[in-house]
């Protein structure tokens, strides 16, 4: 098995797990778990995957993370494409299994942990504010990733720090947008649901990528040796 195939398969599996367990917790038990419980489901998915696929692919499982690594020249253009395709495929597969589980239980299929905004979603923020929120949340998430992965001595705690940071941004973001910070995680449920989720998904595709680019710029300016 080629190295590239292993990396892309790892990214598929990681994103599948993130969407199934994170979005699945929100869709099937959100009322019982509350925001903190859902946030932990997403964060713990990252922790679990970081220690099994991290040595293979770096455990990006997020196109925004892969974009940050591409801009930072830690990922080639070919691998960036392979990673993103694998992440989207994993997200769709995770959403499809979640959809099948919900249908088999006779539950309404109006919720797959999709992101959104406006009346009827969370506290009802506007599209512009949703975009700003996602840029800020992604900035914090990616900036942390860049910092904790910059030193090899952090290796033993990297997965834990990244997972807890994802939990951290979800605690604020769930009531606002459902917290994306990950275009693949948003696209999977939106494609399965269609309708409003699909019409609004552009915010959750563009804003996390913008937040990732800003995080790299800030890191290079403030933290890198070139910026000192």
Helix (H, G, I), strand (E, B) or coil at 76: coil
How far apart are alpha carbons 184 and 95 in whole angstroms? 11
How far apart are alpha carbons 68 and 148 in whole angstroms? 14
* Predicted pLDDT at 227: 46
* Predicted pLDDT at 228: 47
How far apart are alpha carbons 144 and 150 in whole angstroms? 10
Taking Cα atoms as reference points, which of 116, 147, 160 lies closest to residue 134?
Answer: 116
In the chain, where do the E strands start and end? none
Give residue 40's Cα distance to chain centre.
13
Instruction: Look up the pTM and report it.
Output: 0.94
List, in order of start, the domains of the chain with CATH numbers.
3-227 (1.20.1080.10)
Taking Cα atoms as reference points, which of 4, 148, 29, 40 lies closest to residue 48?
Answer: 40
* Predicted pLDDT at 59: 96
Burial of 128 (0-12, 13-18, 19+ CB in 10 A): exposed
How far apart are alpha carbons 27 and 68 in whole angstroms? 29
* Predicted pLDDT at 94: 98
Taking Cα atoms as reference points, which of 143, 145, 159, 155 lies closest to residue 211?
Answer: 143
- Phi/psi for 121 (5° steps) reads -120, 120
Q: What is the pLDDT tens value at each position of the chain, 228 positions in all?
A: 788 899 999 999 999 999 999 999 999 988 899 999 999 999 999 999 999 999 999 999 999 999 999 999 999 999 999 999 999 999 999 999 999 999 998 877 779 999 999 999 999 999 999 999 999 999 999 999 999 998 888 888 999 999 999 999 999 999 999 999 999 999 999 999 999 999 999 999 999 999 999 999 999 999 976 544
Taking Cα atoms as reference points, which of 95, 125, 124 lies closest to residue 111?
Answer: 95
Inter-CA distances, 110 with 21, 98, 113, 177, Å = 17, 12, 9, 16
Contact 171, 39 (CB under 8 A): yes
* Predicted pLDDT at 129: 98
């Amino acid at each position: 098995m080629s190295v590239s195939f292993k990396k892309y398969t790892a990214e598929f599996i990681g994103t599948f797990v993130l969407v199934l367990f994170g979005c699945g917790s929100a869709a099937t038990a959100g009322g019982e778990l509350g925001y903190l419980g859902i946030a932990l489901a997403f964060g713990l998915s990252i922790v679990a995957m970081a220690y099994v696929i991290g040595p293979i692919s770096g455990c990006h499982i997020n196109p925004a993370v892969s974009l940050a690594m591409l801009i930072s020249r830690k990922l080639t253009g070919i691998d960036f494409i392979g990673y993103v395709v694998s992440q989207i495929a994993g997200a769709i597969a995770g959403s499809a299994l979640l959809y099948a589980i919900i249908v088999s239980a006779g539950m309404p299929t109006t919720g797959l942990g999709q992101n959104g905004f406006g009346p009827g979603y969370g506290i009802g923020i506007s599209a512009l504010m949703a975009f700003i929120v996602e840029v800020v949340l992604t900035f914090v998430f990616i900036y942390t990733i860049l910092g904790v992965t910059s030193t090899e001595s952090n290796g033993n705690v990297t997965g834990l720090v990244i997972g807890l940071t994802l939990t951290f941004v979800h605690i604020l973001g769930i009531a606002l947008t459902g917290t994306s910070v990950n275009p693949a995680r948003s696209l999977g449920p939106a494609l399965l649901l269609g309708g409003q989720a699909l019409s609004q998904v552009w915010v959750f595709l563009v804003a996390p990528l913008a937040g990732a680019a800003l995080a790299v710029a800030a890191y290079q300016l403030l933290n890198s040796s070139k910026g000192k």
